[in-house]
Structure 1
Amino acid sequence: MGFVLALEASSRTYAAAAGDGERPRAQRASRRDDPAFTGLGDLVAQTLAESGAAFRDIAAIAVDIGPGGLS
């Protein structure tokens, strides 16, 4: 399938994971009410940087907007 970016935004804790296999290369999470949280875009950028990928490498995006968690 290629490189996948997965986003969880259905609760107070937002999460992003990125990878190209069965396990993500990188994953991050942050509570949206945390004063240090700067937005979902920054969370994605940090996750991609940690995974060693760029936006152009993304082949598919999975998004969970709720209700409930991604499972």
Structure 2
Amino acid sequence: MRYGSAPVRLRLIRDRALVCEVHDASSSAPRVCHATGNDERGRGLFMIEEMADRWGVRFDPGGKTVWAEQDIGEETAAD
């Protein structure tokens, strides 16, 4: 979210999976980078790609939304 264009919105949705959506006003397409130890940028989507079960980008007239989905498994009686 550090390099997003305002306004930036974050939305978490918990259903059968946990979905995290980050929307910003920029229409530039994000890309996965492999940052070196001294790089200050380029790690965000790489980490998402490694940890999420699925992820993607939706574009609309107001910018873009990057989303990531993580399976959270079966609900238990304690939930």
Per the shorter chain, which TM-score range?
0.3 to 0.5
TM-score (norm 2): 0.34
Whose Rg is larger? 2
Higher normalized contact order (CA 8 Å, seq sep 6+, divided by chain length): 1
**Higher helix fraction: Structure 1 or Structure 2?**
1
